[in-house]
Amino acid sequence: MAFICHTLQNFQVGGSSDNIEESCATFTSRALGVETPLKTTHLIDNCIVPCAGKKKEFYSVFHGMIREKQVKKLYLALVVALVPTGIISHYMRPVNLAPRLVSQDYIEGWHLCQLEVLECKEVPWPNADVERTHNIEDCGLPSKKTAYECRINLLTVKTHRVRAQLASIGAPIVGDSMYMPSAFAAISNPLINLFGEQRKKYSSDNDKVAAMAGWILCHGKEPNSVVGLQASQISWNDGDHFYEARAPWWGRGHA
């Protein structure tokens, strides 16, 4: 049996040694009155909602379906620039540290990341009350009149892949204080991104290492609150199991 939980932003989903009693899995188990505590099957970043949980016997089965790409996940992303529809491909550095660096060109050993933008439409920028309620980080945006909502189909599964890929093409996610600064830096000076289309060529490995360190410094810190990204649909068994989240935080009130 599986349970789908729509969590509050920044609410701890999976328990660790120091917060096992204050996690989504523990509280949901208590609310349902189950004897065996639920385990987390699938979760996104802490700044993204919602997540899915399940009973122990379903754990390995569900992860096997994810590995075999039998689970379909659709996201909604609120970004600052129009994104063309179609498949976007990058290669992600195989280092388990943020920020996740991506390249538009193949680099040996880097992981392929792909997403498909199914739709991108203009929407009003969330009003001041909505931003204040959800504590959206400003990130130094020069204008807050128009945003764009993208519906995205994930083709590969990598941590931060949606956030890093959208920022890499100049359309960072609203409130994403980690990747938005790097996107603006690359727009101002395309040569600063040594993995971008207009990257600078370096004559020595030392120069390239220094350039990578500089590019990493162009990124900010992880958001302290929710960002404009929602896991909006999840389904498996050819749609026999289909779950859809409520409207995203930015769609619950506009000026």
Active site residue 45: yes
User: What is the pLDDT averaged over residues 7-15?
Assistant: 55
Asked whether the beta carbons of 184 and 142 are under 8 A apart, the reply is no
pTM of the model: 0.79
User: What is the pLDDT averaged over residues 222-227?
Assistant: 84
Say which of 18, 45, 105, 129 is annotated catalytic. Answer: 45
CA-CA distance, 45 to 236, in Å (whole number)? 21
pLDDT at 204 over 90: no
Of the two residues 3 and 98, the one the predictor is more confident about is 98
CA atoms within 13 A on the CB side of 215: 26
Among 1-10, 20-29, 168-177, the range with the most confident prediction by mean pLDDT is: 168-177
User: What is the pLDDT averaged over residues 92-110?
Assistant: 94
User: What pLDDT score was predicted for residue 26?
Assistant: 72
Nearest CA-CA partner of 173 in 252, 250, 78: 78
